[in-house]
Copies of this chain bind each other. A is one copy, B any other.
Amino acid sequence: MTTTSRSRTFDANASAAAFPLGGIGTGNVSLGARGELRDWELFNRPDKGRLMPNTFFALRVQPAGGAPITRVLEARRPAPHDLSHGYHPATGAGLPRLAGSRLRGEYPFATIEFDDPQLPVHAELEAFTPFIPLNPDDSGLPCAILTYTLTNTSSVPVDLTLAGSIINPVGGIGYDRYGNLEGGGVGQNVNEFRDEAGLRGLYLSSKRYPADDLNYGTLALATTHPNVTVKRAWVRGAWYDFLQDFWDDFSADGRLDDLGYETPSAEGRTDTGSLGLLDTLAPGERKAYRFLLTWHFPNRRASWSNRPEAPVVHNHYAGRFGDAWQVARYLTEHWPRLEGATRQFHQALFDGTLPAAVLDAVSANIVVLRSPTCFWLEDGRFFGYEGCFDEAGCCEGTCTHVWSYAQTLAYLFPRLEREMRRIEFVIETEDDGYMCFRACKTFGERYIWPWGDQKPDAASDGQMGSIIRVYREWLLSGDRAWLELVWPGVKRALDYARREWDPDDDGLTDGNQHNTYDISFFGNNPLSGVYFLAGLRAVEELAGIMGEPDLARRCRDNFTRGAQRLDERLWNGQYYVQRLEDVNAHKYQFGQGCLSDQLLGQLHARLLNMGDLLPADHVRAALKSIHDNNFKRDFSEHVNCQRTYVLNDEAGLVLCSWPQGGRPRYPFVYSDEVWTGIEYQVAAHLIYEGYAAEGLEIVQAVRDRHDGVRRSPWNEVECGHHYARSMASWAVLLALSGFHCDLGRGVISFAPPAAATADLSHFATFWSCGRGWGTYAQDRDEATGLWRPSVEVLGGDLSGIRVEACGQAWTL
């Protein structure tokens, strides 16, 4: 394994690429590959494709003695150009743009290098939102930091104005059928210029909505640059006057004329404001110009489905900031720390030696937890949909079986992940241990199976996954108070599982086992079966910690019986199968199929250092079978009557295959599909089982499919955008670093597999746990051939923690 170029670039044709900015629970605005801001999702709901009219950055440069050049700071639009009425002036599409651009994304940083042979300056853009592991508050700031760096490439001084324009969208932008701005919820909008305490810029608000209204909110576009020029509101004219006047004004001399409007906008109308940064660059001089885009839309419904009768609650950030200007001020006051820690995290991850595709997979899916898939309330409750429709969350309730694949949040922000377990086991788990696999009780809502009209079956994989993850959260935190809080629910949930799926107490699940494929498996099957074994092991460990040896022993006995029985019943010599007399007696089974998820429970055991659940050689062989049978290097001949996520010459791992025949007439409804979350969990598991090359081949395939032209590198979809399951990618980092953590015992350890370091004398990776984060490195001593391990703590406090690596141990 060698480290290739550590990140990819995407040119202006990568129309699918959208790099989301924004914090945890704040919504997003994304940066496109042309340098354009797109997918404005600030308003407490997903909104893919949402454009913000009149909102763009533009540059006017004038070399001494030369003619001025004015450009929108975006690369030109690629085809298609086939809208029914052309591009509307509100898109500014008819203005001159730059010749080219190259986007590079190393989450949380995006950079764009612009090209334009006509310009006397070279332009770059860096965009990010502060991101600090273990610090969700400072990773949850409703802002995007946009820094343009300009270099004078000419031989004379260059005067420049760099202007950001932004419409005041408070209340909601409306359009008529021609694309003209009309109606919506705007009206009484106010654009102010503020200049105070070294911070200056536009502050956008509305007088129309009271503070508890869902439409209430503010934005700011600000800078600390000293010399600015401002037009608070573009001309309030007819037709396309708005853009004509702005562009003519800006182009003429690079100074913006404020038109002196002193009244709020009329009903159904709003204003666009522009903030220009003025400067002169000497030949060769390079300088950064920073814009702070902040927003504050505090209110949302306490509901998964935005039921109109649900009460209004506040976003978490609203508890810290009164408006968008306060956010901008906070950024300014804490800038060195916020920027510094974010860069430290980025370097810790990207300066590591993991393969480029792995760094990409691991970092890009962090996005999910800062996307509209997740939200965070003022009272601390943290939630996730599975993913998002273009304009709404989908599906609701921090779905236990989907989120069980995800590892990212647990390692980066373990406090938020513990909060999810608290909600599941303290609020959602019923007295008899039944867990709806969707957390709806917390909002006083009830989940009804949309195609069945009834209370859903408990999900065997989700219920066991939540139990297992309680053990993970314990290992990562050693938080005994939290464990005591959730422990009764965990025990009830396990009792329910044993009654429901193992009534004969043989340790092997049976009966109706609803699961993440939205159907139920019947009879003995490895998905539920191995998950159950892992759950028994996790509760055994937790019972030990909680001082309940009887329970621990009962779990161990049941586990031992079940593991043996499962291996006897389901091992077919190559992999684990489902045992059914008639595979077609129930629809949607898999029978003799080779299921990619068959050993997901064993992966959990690997991640949590719980050891082998099944014979190690069987596990290893089964993983290899999954790769050999289910990973396809070309989908041109693949037959899939289900949903299509991979096609043509792409590669991917299907959910199931039938190498030995026995495919049911109607196999389970997603069996021929490809889900990135499953690809990652299998990839991680392959690495754990010694098949690093096979695992990395899968990771590479996923990332190759997300090439900016086919799909966004920062949006892996399944049943929705920014799908939570994709956060299984973090497991690949864990597998390649062999990182384990037991803060209850006060130990962290590293054991990168041999394959991860084979030809290298240096290995380095990021790591994190509940009390700190940093880097781990091991270097081979050329003289002795021995590895020298080292740990650097970059955040948090791990003093007293014991580190184990390369056969050595020391205390931090």
Contact = CB atoms under 8 A, between A and B. Distances in A.
Contacts of A77: 647-648
Contacts of A717: 82-86
Interface in A73-106: 76-77, 79-89, 91, 93-97, 99
Contact of A666 (B99, B244, B392): B244
B80 A711 contact: yes
A9 interface: no
Contacts of A89: 641-644
A387 B16 CA distance: 30
A774 interface: no
A175 interface: no
18 contacts: A48-B84, A76-B636, A80-B710, A82-B710, A83-B717, A84-B387, A84-B717, A85-B643, A85-B717, A85-B718, A87-B645, A89-B644, A95-B639, A96-B637, A96-B639, A177-B392, A237-B666, A240-B669
A94 B647 contact: yes
Given A83-B717, A94-B644, A95-B641, 16 more contacts: A77-B648, A81-B644, A82-B710, A84-B394, A84-B721, A85-B389, A89-B641, A94-B647, A95-B640, A177-B389, A238-B587, A239-B666, A239-B669, A240-B642, A244-B641, A247-B641
Interface in A446-462: 451
B389 A81 contact: no
Contact of A643 (B87, B636, B642): B87
Contacts of A392: 177
Contacts of A387: 84
A94 B639 contact: yes
A326 interface: no
A83 B721 CA distance: 8
A99 B636 CA distance: 8
B84 A16 contact: no
A638 B84 contact: no
Contacts of A710: 79-82
A243 interface: yes
A267 interface: no
A388 interface: yes
A148 interface: no
Secondary structure at the A interface, as helix, strand, loop or mixed, is: loop
Contacts of A16: 79-80, 82
Interface residues of A, number: 71
A588 B240 CA distance: 11
A589 interface: no
Interface of A: 15-16, 48, 76-77, 79-89, 91, 93-97, 99, 177-178, 237-241, 243-244, 247-248, 251, 387-390, 392, 394, 451, 587-588, 636-645, 647-648, 665-666, 669, 672-673, 709-712, 715, 717-721
Contacts of A715: 82
Q: Top 6 closest A-B pairs, CB basis?
A: A94-B640, A94-B644, A87-B644, A243-B641, A79-B710, A93-B644
B88 A643 contact: yes
A606 B204 CA distance: 57
A496 to B, nearest CB: 27
A266 to B, nearest CB: 15
A642 B82 contact: no
Contact of A94 (B80, B93, B643): B643
Contacts of A451: 238
Oligomeric state, in copies: 2
A251 B640 CA distance: 13
A240 B647 CA distance: 18
Contacts of A96: 636-639
A387 B786 CA distance: 76
Nearest to A244: B641
Contacts of A643: 85-89, 94, 240
A240 B76 contact: no
B15 A76 contact: no
Most buried by B among A76, A588, A638, A641: A641
Interface centre among A84, A240, A389, A394, by most chain B C-beta atoms within 10 angstroms, is A84
Nearest to A722: B84
Nearest to A669: B239
Contact of A247 (B81, B637, B639, B718): B639
Nearest to A46: B84
A241 B666 contact: yes
Nearest to A116: B636
Nearest to A451: B238
A647 B93 contact: yes
A84 B648 contact: no
A97 B638 CA distance: 10
Contacts of A389: 84-85, 177
For A99, A240, A718, the residue with the greatest tally of chain B CB atoms inside 10 Å of its CB is: A240
Contacts of A712: 82
Contacts of A719: 85, 178
Contacts of A79: 16, 709-711
Contact of A76 (B177, B648, B669): B648
Nearest to A675: B86
A390 to B, nearest CB: 5
